[in-house]
Amino acid sequence: MSDELKTEQGTGQPEEPQDPKDQAREEQIQTEEAGGAIEEEIDKAAAQEARLTEQMMRLQADFENYKKRSLREKQDIAQYTMESFLKKLLPILDNLDRAQQSADTGNMDAYKQGVDMVFKQLLQVLQDEGLQTVQAEGAQFDPNFHHAVMAESSDDHQEDEVIGELQKGYQYKDKVIRPAMVKVCKK
């Protein structure tokens, strides 16, 4: 190994040996500068955390308000839908009242005619709302639409054919709300 002089980086000048105190002071300055940068990063992170926490709390409050508003709107829709349906039933109620008045006078033909008119009117209102009768007599027994309460042997009908309807069944749109109570052919 040769005894070469160490040179300062980039200057070509010989590097002077540093005093240990100067070196310690320089390291302390570098540490303080690094510590200041770390503290600055911590402050930035804390500020960002505060902003994000506030934003999250606002979003949570907005969501709670949305849920309350949606529930209130659903309740209003249900209430006003029922009001509309009841308004459609009022003329039927009026006709029932008229039929009852005609029964009080003893005019049975007018009473029968009034009851028939009310029945047709009620059936029409319910059909307009989506109610349909379940087809029963003459149809093949289907447990989704029929409730068999009696079975009877018959040469005039096929096996599992509905041969009598004891109570009408109804469906609302596509859902059966009451199956038809029927008598079924069993051989």
Q: Long-range contacts: 21-29, Cβ < 8 Å, 24+? A: none
Q: What single-letter amino acid sits at 116?
A: D
Within this chain, do residues 121 and 58 fall inside the same structural domain, yes or no?
yes
Within this chain, do residues 34 and 115 fall inside the same structural domain, yes or no?
yes
Within this chain, do residues 124 and 179 fall inside the same structural domain, yes or no?
no
Within this chain, do residues 143 and 160 fall inside the same structural domain, yes or no?
yes
Give pLDDT tens digits along the chain (187 positions).
444 444 445 555 555 556 777 777 777 777 767 667 788 889 999 999 999 999 999 999 999 999 999 999 999 898 888 888 889 999 999 988 888 888 788 778 888 888 898 999 999 999 999 999 999 999 999 999 999 999 999 889 999 999 999 999 999 999 999 999 999 999 8
Token couple for 9: 């980086």
- Range of the structural domain that residue 159 is part of: 132-187
Q: Are 157 and 179 in contact (CB under 8 A)?
A: no
Adjacent-strand bridge partners of 70: none
